[in-house]
Structure 1
């Protein structure tokens, strides 16, 4: 099958959930024998084509990886037509809007990471102080406009793929032609490594008997990195073996890093920046608990699945679609309230009960192997797309 994937960003533009999803999907589809080309916004280095792990990326000159724009939609629609005929056009979020509105050949399937209107709360949580609050109306208007665009797009494509059960249910209630397809992770790379934990910790400069928390996300207010760091500081004063590793980068990194260094246990906090998959796997292997106290309405973050696949229980806030994999009392702890106190209490309970912590981690890894293994999820989705019954709705 010839597959054209349309996205705004790839690993050439940064490291995030969408970029990782596109790479994993394209690489796996190519391994399964499909012919895959990815169309993305212009490369920051100016190159126009690139081969990656069995698939080809074409970068669209004159476009930007920032906000969605008419330039991206116009150029991407033209590029899609150049690659016709194809068996599947698979686009991420609004990247396929231009193609859908100009009626490129089908079938066209859209991967959806969440519900835009739910990001009104996320934008609110991203504000700090009166000066930031003054920008909320403009940000809220942009969210509402994006939601309107998404609904138009979803009416024009053959099928919408939802990555989490909450988004899936919401789209079904609206009458969208929707299919749930779990985000997959490479379980051969992200796996429990208890026998290598001591060596991994030594390589990362952590004591063998440390209690290690890990967070992996964009470092902004919405992602709750500050909550996690505050919870760590509250525990670190009485837990001298407690360490925190923060993986990722973002606009709040400098501020939060300075606050963490100044707080209790500051010398035991490591902001590692953006790390690649092999290093992510090493950090997870060294850790005891994954923290994800997000304030944002998430889909199903890949970082959570990678940590779970590595055998870590997750302490997370019950936002968006996180409950797809983080099941309270089964694979981790879901918090109704996003607060440093709630996070600290949940973490302390797990650290003080190693048997329960290990049991949750084992259940987390088992769930990912059963339901979120990358090759299986991609193969299942492509098989379903190949079945004409998935596309029976046609275009509105």
Structure 2
């Protein structure tokens, strides 16, 4: 099958949607399908052979964050050229309602279109206001996927229609095989995310840290991600700042080793999450997870069965839970075992098969419609069958 996938966000800026698209493309290629991904990218960005650049992206505030999107006349021309050259059997657009390549592709594409909706934003006035503009493009979509029940709810409430829920995928074995790194072990809390993006929750974790260190002074917080490190620890007493170690951006391999090394992985995110791919990666690597009780996180963690939850934005609750987990190796071992079993439902062997089933359904439907149209034309003009 020839599959075209559209990435809305800049390929050179790490993010959950980009990682999902990358892993999906590589999974499909490994199965023998021909895949091309169209994505925004700076000129100097090294790209995998299956990625086609749609040009540089610009930062746009979106869903409580800043997304790097690509939209305009030049982008539209590149979309049309990519569609022409690809002659795809199916086109898979991610976030078609954002002002990005996905919306441009919806306008320009012909044939079966599958769309995945990642955003969870129950109060999106902008999406409601833009609906009359979006409607003609969205009506061309053959099948809709939502990465969680909360992303599906956003779609239903603001854009109408419905979607099948297929979660983000993870190569579970890649993380499960990771070897711990000795220097990252020993009473360590872990955090992965953009340091200077408030909704990722690092300020909440920093606020909890003094209480944690008062009870367990040997604890270290390891932070992986880009951002202003000095600003991140500015709220901490100076004597505690040395207990925070910033690792900067890490490779996929080091992220897996990082998650396999920490005693507790903390996800203090405050909102705007429709899934929680980092939770799945952490469970895959064997890290006990402590997360804010966002709806999406609660679902990923099996209502708290595969990880512990604390009240969102409550630093004291976070600190209390972290202290308890750091002092209870048996509970951590229990969470590792439960998480390792639960996470298998997110493996690409399952998720990829579900997405392929959607592709096959829409392509078969398109073929049936085309056959019916040919039959109708023959009957209308009295033509014999081939």
166, 174, 187: which one pairs with 1:181?
166
* Shift in CA distance, 62/384, structure 1 to aligned 2, threshold 3 Å: closer
| Structure 1: gaps of 5 or more residues | 121-140
When Rg is computed on C-alpha atoms for both structures, the one with the higher figure is: 2
34, 47, 50: which one pairs with 1:56?
50
**Contact in 2 for aligned 1:116/1:143 (Cα 8 Å):** no
1:215 maps to 2:167:
no
Residues 143-182 of structure 1 mapped to structure 2, 5 A cutoff: 153-172=137-156, 175-182=160-167
* Equivalent residue pairs, number: 353
**C-alpha displacement at 1:78, in angstroms?**
1.0
Q: Deviations over 1:127-182 (max 9, x none)?
A: xxxxxxxxxxxxxx767656776666543311221111222245456652411111
SS in 2 for 1:44: coil
Q: Hey, what's the Cα distance between the residues in 2 that align with 1:175 and 1:144?
A: 10
Per the normalisation by structure 1, the TM-score is 0.80
Please name the residue that 2:5 is paired with: 5
Please name the residue that 1:21 is paired with: 20
1:310 maps to 2:285:
yes
* Shift in CA distance, 64/192, structure 1 to aligned 2, threshold 3 Å: same
Q: Hey, what's the Cα distance between the residues in 2 that align with 1:183 and 1:334?
A: 21
**C-alpha displacement at 1:276, in angstroms?**
1.1
Residues 285-324 of structure 1 mapped to structure 2, 5 A cutoff: 285-324=260-299
1:248 maps to 2:233:
no
Residues 1-396 of structure 1 mapped to structure 2, 5 A cutoff: 1-9=1-9, 11=11, 13-45=12-44, 50=47, 52=48, 55-61=49-55, 64=58, 66-71=68-73, 74-93=76-95, 94=98, 95-102=101-108, 104-118=109-123, 153-172=137-156, 175-191=160-176, 197=180, 200-202=181-183, 204=184, 206=185, 210-219=186-195, 220-250=197-227, 253-260=229-236, 262-263=237-238, 265-369=240-344, 371-388=345-362
**C-alpha displacement at 1:291, in angstroms?**
1.0
Per the normalisation by structure 2, the TM-score is 0.81
CA RMSD of aligned residues (A): 2.9
| Structure 2: gaps of 5 or more residues | 60-67, 370-386
Judge which range, 349-358 or 150-159, deviates more. Answer: 150-159
Q: Deviations over 1:321-357 (max 9, x none)?
A: 2223123441112233321111111112222322122
SS in 1 for 2:150: helix
**Contact in 2 for aligned 1:211/1:351 (Cα 8 Å):** yes
Q: Hey, what's the Cα distance between the residues in 1 that align with 2:163 and 2:202?
A: 32
